[in-house]
Structure 1
Amino acid sequence: MPDPAFRTLSEEDYLRIEEISSVKRECVDGFVYAQAGATNAHNLICSNIHFALYLSARAKGCFVYPSYMKVRIKTSRGIKYYYPDIAVNRAPLNPDALYMTQPCLIVEVLSKGTHKIDESYKAEHYLSLDSLQAYLLVDARSRVSVIHRRTPEGWVY
């Protein structure tokens, strides 16, 4: 019998459990990872970016979502569910939606514990989304930001 720590969840089980969970957890190809709490600096940066985006996004018919809306990404290796710090979607989501599949902007605020994942695996998965136009990484410690923008020629950094 496999060790329970290495058992994967089906997509349906993950969504069912996550909907009632008191802890946010991301799911990568059936493996579930709890999300750590955030520092005050992290939360303030997220709040400021959300505030800065909100009015201009709404004026263009877009919707800005904080970190409690998952993004679903289907790759050749499986399904991933991530909780970006901020995601912008061009169309309103169904009120019962548990996730979005076509964000146009994703923002991740980097921390000591997450920066390697946000800059590598998540970046690769986010940039595979046809709808995505920009991926913004904000380093809370160094105050440096990097934006990946989609152009007709491809992604520029």
Structure 2
Amino acid sequence: MQAEEKRFYTPDEYLEQEVSSELRHECINGVIVPMTGGTPEHNEIVSILNAALRVSLKGQLYSIFASDQRLWIPDRQLYTYLEVMVVPRPLVRQTGRNDTLTNPMMIAEVLSKSTKSYDRDENFLAYRTIPTFQEYLLIDQYTLHVEQYSRTDSFRWVFTEYDCAEARILLASIPFEIRLADLHEGIELEGD
């Protein structure tokens, strides 16, 4: 039996398919990868963070996007969708596109068992090539745990870890603060 050949797509071919697709896909170096759906807990954490950011940043020059906004990372030839991203206004769109952004400031990902290594490693490497990117949150959906990476200059990132319910997550890139317990409010955690 012959192994199936992997097909590579140009950015235009990917975007043509993605715009008419009912499902979301990433495109990594020309390879189209379907995105899986999240658990209810995963989606709840995204909703909580999105709502808290909206309240905190109301009236300021930021836009907040959750789940369905496509991001283009040219240095990695990567189209992806993020759980939550904060983008300074004005929005910077991919040349020739009105539906794809390129300038996130803060990105948050909710970790699942199948994606946590990818989010910590490959995704973070790709995000760091974005000039406007300043802060990364990795939120565990199974336990009270958040990892925060904040850029201090071109080559340095400060790592902060939260695992106490009363810990306050304070972002460096935008005026935002949330208690770890509030981020996981109503979420059934492992061990509870």
Q: How does 1:11-26 map to 2 (within 5 A)?
A: 11-26=11-26
| Residue aligned with 1:142, SS | coil
Give the CA deviation at 1:4: 6.0
| Residue aligned with 1:43, SS | helix
Give the CA deviation at 1:129: 1.0
Give the CA deviation at 1:57: 2.5
| Residue aligned with 2:45, SS | helix
Residues 5 and 21 of structure 1: CA distance in aligned 2, closer, same or farther (over 3 Å): farther
Structure 2 length as normaliser, TM-score?
A: 0.74
Aligned equivalent of 2:175: none
Give the CA deviation at 1:97: 2.2
Give the CA deviation at 1:143: 2.3
Query: Deviating runs (4+, > 3 A) in structure 1?
Result: 92-96
Report the number of matched residues. 154
Q: Is the Cα–Cα contact under 8 Å of residues 29 and 78 in structure 2 kept in the other structure? A: yes
Give the CA deviation at 1:82: 1.1
- The C-alpha deviation readout for 1:42-61, integer Å capped at 9, x for no partner, is 01000000011112233321
- The C-alpha deviation readout for 1:74-100, integer Å capped at 9, x for no partner, is 12xx41011110111101448972211
More helix by share: 1
Q: Which runs of 5+ in 1 are unaligned?
A: none
Aligned equivalent of 2:166: none
Aligned equivalent of 1:10: 10
Q: Is the Cα–Cα contact under 8 Å of residues 107 and 135 in structure 1 kept in the other structure? A: yes
| Residue aligned with 1:58, SS | coil
Q: Which runs of 5+ in 2 are unaligned?
A: 160-192
Percent of residue pairs bearing the same amino acid type: 29
2:81 to 80, 83, 88: 83
Structure 1 length as normaliser, TM-score?
A: 0.90
CA RMSD of aligned residues (A): 2.0
- The C-alpha deviation readout for 1:9-32, integer Å capped at 9, x for no partner, is 100011111011101000100001
Aligned equivalent of 1:30: 30
| Residue aligned with 2:74, SS | strand
Aligned equivalent of 1:156: 158
